[in-house]
Amino acid sequence: MKLSKTEEQLMQHLWKLQKAFMKDILEQYDEPKPATTTIATLLKRMTDKGYVSYTTFGKSREYYPLIKKEDYFSNHLNGLIKNFFNDSASQFASFFTKETNLSDTELKELRKIIDQQLKDNNQ
Amino acid sequence: MKLSKTEEQLMQHLWKLQKAFMKDILEQYDEPKPATTTIATLLKRMTDKGYVSYTTFGKSREYYPLIKKEDYFSNHLNGLIKNFFNDSASQFASFFTKETNLSDTELKELRKIIDQQLKDNNQ
DNA sequence: ATTTTACCTCTACATTTGTAGAATTAAATT
DNA sequence: AATTTAATTCTACAAATGTAGAGGTAAAAT
């Protein structure tokens, strides 16, 4: 089952912290912070969905993500691509480079990555 | 207001068809097709949200999207990037080229686009 | 003209999501 | 030891979402 928007946001914090107690999580939020119980509810739901687990330390828990950000995102992206670009990553890539305003430096960086990829592919 | 997953799917059909009567839309769906009333409900909600409009033809309507797929997607993508890559499109780009398995041809195509972009940027 | 079909509106209802109070408990502080 | 604090579970509830039946009507087919 997928995470909702708000749950995803919480995941971001967990990914960042790796391991976190309730208070660490709360700290991550900007003012006005959500109620502790709100976070608790979200964490429980996320645990049920299989995205989060925790180690019990005395009365409280240290939460951690069960899925890597990269993996989660990868799926996400594939869904997006499938949905919007008939499953064609290259079509997406072209769209992407046109639509996002990358600076020259960023474009060059990206080209470097591509060249590296090409090299890797061919030996 | 954003579209939900199912509404987005319907949008895809509208984007594809440009203009569509109920039956044209229904046709787009695979078996088992949703009930007409389901689509009708979605269309009404989407109209309320400002994503869809229609021309009345006698008793029925020809629906059409009010937002271009590119624009919708662009926003979408920016949200994603902001969320997952601290607002850094280049970080995203690098992730993207690594994670999606683009073929050599696709990579080369992409590089061409980048070069073009670079040229355009520097006029 | 009568029946069938297509499509619209209204209503409904279960599920998911966003948010949080109340009650409880264990740990920390005074 | 008594009180305060932090965290958990339970319960709640409104809004959004997915799905569709009932009922009505205009257009099309017989």
Retrieve residue A1's tokens.
Answer: 């089952």
Ranges of each domain in chain B? 5-65, 69-121
Check CB contact under 8 Å for A114 and B97.
yes
pLDDT at A19: 95
pLDDT digits (tens, 9 = 90+) for B88-117: 777 888 888 877 778 888 888 889 888 988
Strand-pairing partners, residue A60, are A57
Retrieve residue A108's tokens.
Answer: 């060059």
For strand C, give the nucleotides within 7 A of a protein CB: 6-12, 16-23, 25-28
Instruction: Calculate how close chain B gets to A61, using CA atoms only, in Å.
Output: 26
Å from A83 (CA) to D19 (C1')?
A: 22
pLDDT digits (tens, 9 = 90+) for A16-42: 999 999 999 999 999 889 999 999 999
| pLDDT band at residue B15 under the 50/70/90 scheme | very high
pLDDT at B42: 97
The topology under which CATH files domain A5-65 is: Arc Repressor Mutant, subunit A (1.10.10)
pLDDT at B17: 95
Low-confidence ranges of chain A (pLDDT < 70): none
Nucleotide nearest to B60 (CA to C1'): C7
Q: Give the best residue of A7, A15, A73, A88 to mutate against chain B (max B CB count within 10 A).
A: A73
User: Residue A59: exposed, middle, or buried by beta-carbon count in 10 A (0-12, 13-18, 19+)?
Assistant: exposed
pLDDT at A122: 87
Retrieve residue A40's tokens.
Answer: 């608790």
pLDDT at A29: 95
